[in-house]
Amino acid sequence: MIAYLKGKIFLTTLESVIIETAGGVGYEVFCLKRSLASLEKGQEVEVFVYTLVREDALDLYGFLSWEERKTFALLLSIPKVGPKLALAILDVFTPQELADVVVKEDVSLLATVPGIGPKSAKKIFLDLKDKLKWGEEDISLSSSEEASTLVSDTLEALKGLGYRKEEVLPLIKELIAQEKEWDVSLLIREVLKHKAKQQ
């Protein structure tokens, strides 16, 4: 399963980009519209990929952050939410904004997404609330809880890229100990840089 791509933008369309890797292979990757607006031909890009395998197709969906990719996967786990609708939701809300919608129980905001009516919005909201299980107490995480979440999310992403827990976990903890402003995407990139130097 493809989980990460790095290369140059070979071509852009209204819904996707073709990323040419260093090996000369081109992958068509469907992206958020707001991401597409920031990408140009010839630009170096790194994307976190969700590979969707169906009977008649194998589609790649690319995101500029791991949080977007993780939220996309969560949305796909909701009944009757397909990739196009999941992308539409993430074009309107960032992952954090979507979490805020759940916390504030503002169902009407979901209905502002093209393709979602009031009834669908309520159903999606209830499923999101059940899956996220976020309450007011989760908004102000302690620094130790934040670090724990950061480690687990980064480790999950790197395992998806083929790395074993024992070879990357010490490096993740070492980087976090530097007390920089880390997020999952930055940590993953830094770990990949370190691993590349070791090869």
Structure tokens at 167: 């070879």
Query: What's residue 68's pLDDT?
Result: 92
Instruction: Judge contact between 45 and 39, C-beta under 8 A.
Output: yes
Check residue 199 and give its pLDDT.
Answer: 62
Angle between helical axes of 66-76 and 143-160 (0-180°, round to 10): 80
Tokens of 48: 């976190």
pLDDT tens string, the chain, 199 residues long: the values are 688 899 999 999 999 999 999 889 999 999 999 999 999 999 999 999 999 987 777 899 999 998 899 899 999 999 889 999 999 999 999 988 888 888 888 888 888 999 898 888 998 988 888 776 543 333 333 344 456 677 888 888 888 888 888 888 888 888 877 767 788 888 888 888 888 877 6
pLDDT of res. 85:
94
Q: What is the 3-state secondary structure (H, E, C) of 120-178?
A: HHHHHHHHHHHHHCCCHHHCCCCHHHHHHHHHHHHHHHHHHCCCCHHHHHHHHHHHHCC
> Which whole-number Å values give the CA distances from 142 to 103, 133, 165, 166, in the listed order?
18, 18, 25, 26
**pLDDT at residue number 5:** 92
pLDDT for 153: 82
Max Cα–Cα distance, the chain, nearest Å = 53
DSSP letters for 71-87: HHHHHHTSTT--HHHHH
Contact by Cβ (8 Å): 188, 66:
yes
Q: What pLDDT shows up at residue 8?
A: 95
- Domains of the chain plus CATH, in order, are 4-63 (2.40.50.140), 66-138 (1.10.150.20), 143-198 (1.10.8)
**What's the confidence (pLDDT) of residue 164?**
85
Beta-carbon neighbour count of residue 151 at 10 Å?
17
Q: Give the pTM.
A: 0.70
Q: Are strands 4-12 and 16-21 parallel, antiparallel or unpaired?
A: antiparallel
pLDDT score of 147: 61
